[in-house]
Amino acid sequence: MSETTVKERPSQQPATSRRSTPTAGRLVKLVLGLALLVVLLALPLYVEEFWLRTGFAVFGAVIGAVGLNLLVGTTGQLSLAHAFFLAVGAVTYTYVAGEPGGTANPYGGLGWSPLLAMVLGVVAAGVMGLVFSPIAARLRGIYLGIASLGLVFIGDHVLNTWGSVTGGFNGRLVPTFSVFGFSFGGNESPYLAVLGVPFGQPERLWYLGLVLCIGACWFAANLLRSRPGRALQTLRDSEVAASVMGVDVRDYKAKSFLVSSMYAGLAGVLYALSIGSVAPESFGLTLSVQFLAMIVLGGLGSVWGSVLGATFVSALPLVFQQYAGALPFIVDPGQPGIVASQAAAFLYGAAIILVVLFEPGGLVGLARRLRRPARAPGAAPAAPPGADQDPITTTAQAGTSTRGDNR
């Protein structure tokens, strides 16, 4: 009896330490997340306007990238129509919140509340995603990508010809966003100052984008951990296996397009507020390719990967444009050489190639590899998450338990 007790003690201690490790990891993530939130909340008090406007553009790109990643990375459905759904959200917001047509404003509008216009923009994009979902349910892979590409050309034609709503080829200005009389636009009403720093349009838009971005990422993270999220991941791995396990393949494909297009609609509203106008050239195929680059570079199927990829792809051209004079190989537009936008495209294009070759998990995979503790030479590899015991010990204990039950 004593000998058996002594032999069992060493096997119990590693199991206890392994069970305590996830709790410590979650605590570290919580502390880091709170620290990052405090930094983001305090940034408008210390940085200049350029970084605030760049941050607002990044927040919108993150929302769109998270939505596309839910469709491509989580569900495994290739889509090149993300720019179309962004255009639906942006145009719906602009038309619903725009002032009615007249002499000063040749383009009509409903003049409704900007908050209601934002909600309707998200809903309209979701409805268009549902309309396309029967086609998405019948196709997959490159065939679905080509079919979705048709939406981009349809959207470009509508934006150019439906002038009373979209403004036609020249586009139209985006109405200022406001909530219950609190304006996020140029009139800055009512006046607001924090610690002596006046909060104008850049500061207010920063906090608007931050709140919406956190909410979108929180919803996506909880969706991935839920039962529908696991069903979508099973659908990505094998449609046959998913159907055998009781997953309604067509229904979940339709739902994934619905959620992704609603994310794109919200991103389109923020994108319109960021650039100040909606025009057909702003929602072309290039925009869809940029969002694909975001999720590939950041990491497929990961919310944090969408954040990293969107930040890299959307902020890099703006930073290059701002500091083009300090870089020796960048010239001003109109001069022979490489301009800032081209240099940014070359850089994140090369980054995508390097990531695909050396780190298929994307930037989030590289971050996990750097965070993983180094293993001592000759040490056994760490057990996978959730494996409290090795298979031999587990089998032996299962056999002991069975014999005990039989007795």
- The mean pLDDT of the chain is 80
**What integer pLDDT is reported at residue 396 of this predicted model?**
39
- Residue of 120 and 198 predicted with greater confidence: 120
Q: Which among 85, 141, 65, 143 is positioned nearest to 301, based on CA atoms?
A: 65
120 located within any domain: yes
Residue with token string 């639906």: 88
The model's pLDDT over 85-97, given as tens digits with 9 standing for 90+, comes to: 999 999 999 999 9
**Is residue 197 over pLDDT 90?**
no
Residues 280 and 65: their CA atoms lie apart, in Å, by 21
- Counting Cα atoms < 13 Å in the Cβ hemisphere of 81 gives 33
> Both tokens of residue 20?
């305590």
Spell out the residues 6+ positions from residue 213 whose beta carbon is closer than 8 angstroms to its own.
59, 62, 63
299 located within any domain: no
**What integer pLDDT is reported at residue 187 of this predicted model?**
61
The model's pLDDT over 24-79, given as tens digits with 9 standing for 90+, comes to: 777 877 888 889 889 998 888 888 889 999 999 999 999 999 999 999 989 888 88
Burial class (CB in 10 A: 0-12, 13-18, 19+), 275: middle
Q: How many domains does the chain have?
A: 1
Q: Which among 216, 220, 217, 254 is positioned nearest to 89, based on CA atoms?
A: 216
156 located within any domain: yes
**What integer pLDDT is reported at residue 383 of this predicted model?**
44
- Would you tell me how many other CB atoms lie within 10 Å of the CB of residue 350? 10
The model's pLDDT over 122-165, given as tens digits with 9 standing for 90+, comes to: 999 999 999 998 888 888 888 888 889 999 999 999 999 988 88
Phi first, then psi: give them for residue 76, nearest 5 degrees: 80, 25
Distance (Å) of CA 317 to CA 53, 140, 331, 345: 13, 33, 14, 8
Q: Which among 361, 131, 144 is positioned nearest to 239, based on CA atoms?
A: 144
**What integer pLDDT is reported at residue 270 of this predicted model?**
95
22 located within any domain: no
141 located within any domain: yes
For the chain, the farthest-separated pair of C-alpha atoms sits apart, in whole angstroms, at 97
**What integer pLDDT is reported at residue 58 of this predicted model?**
95
331 located within any domain: no
332 located within any domain: no
* Average pLDDT of the residues in 155-176: 88
Containing structural domain, residue 104: 47-283
14 located within any domain: no
DSSP string, 189-209: -S--EETTEE--HHHHHHHHH
Amino acid at 383: A
Write the DSSP symbol of residue 327. S
**Is residue 11 over pLDDT 70?**
no
The model's pLDDT over 308-359, given as tens digits with 9 standing for 90+, comes to: 999 988 998 888 878 776 777 777 777 777 887 788 888 878 888 888 888 8
Phi first, then psi: give them for residue 222, nearest 5 degrees: -70, -35
Q: Which among 317, 371, 363, 373 is positioned nearest to 344, based on CA atoms?
A: 317
**What integer pLDDT is reported at residue 90 of this predicted model?**
94
